[in-house]
Amino acid sequence: MTAKTKIGIIICDRYRSCAGGKCFRALQNREGAFDIYKTDEEVELVGYTSCGGCPGGNIEYAPEEMKKNGAEIIHFATGFVVGYPPCPYIHHFKDFIEEKYGMKVVIGTHPIPQKYYITHSKLGTWNSTEWNKFIKPTLGDEEIRLDYN
């Protein structure tokens, strides 16, 4: 029997009413940042919550609960990078969770929708080494970005 990978997803509080449809679809299809999991690998979502709003008060506590439920990896939802402005605390959140809880943090869930890619490209939002690194797991190609519009 193969071990299952348990994950948690934290979304930007701006999208707190999001039902998670794109994230769950991408997880099931192993698209976007979920392509790190093999298609035959069992992945269980053990927690889904928002950051708690700027500057991310829930970041201190939610990963602990997820870890108690077996989470090994935390995914920050794609909304952290496609919202405008993108989350200014994302690198602090990532560093904090990895240091305090010893959990891997992956930036992104579903592929970036093309409409956001176009806007942020025109604005130059992601024109830095750090942001290029953050969007890489969810960038995909134009075809998949259009599929997630």
99 — pLDDT class (breaks 50, 70, 90): very high
- Write out the two tokens for 33: 């940042």
The topology (CATH level 3) of 5-147 is Rossmann fold (3.40.50)
- Give yes or no for a contact between 96 and 59, defined as CB atoms under 8 angstroms apart: yes
Q: What is the mean pLDDT of residues 101-114?
A: 98
Q: What is the mean pLDDT of residues 25-48?
A: 95
Rounded to whole angstroms, how far apart are CA atoms 100 and 89?
16
Domain ranges of the chain: 5-147
Q: What is the pLDDT of residue 3?
A: 75
DSSP for residue 54? T
Q: Residue 67: which residues within 8 A CB-CB, separation 6 or more?
A: 101, 103
Write the pLDDT tens digit of every residue in 131-147. 999 999 999 999 999 99
| Per-residue pLDDT at 92 exceeds 90 | yes
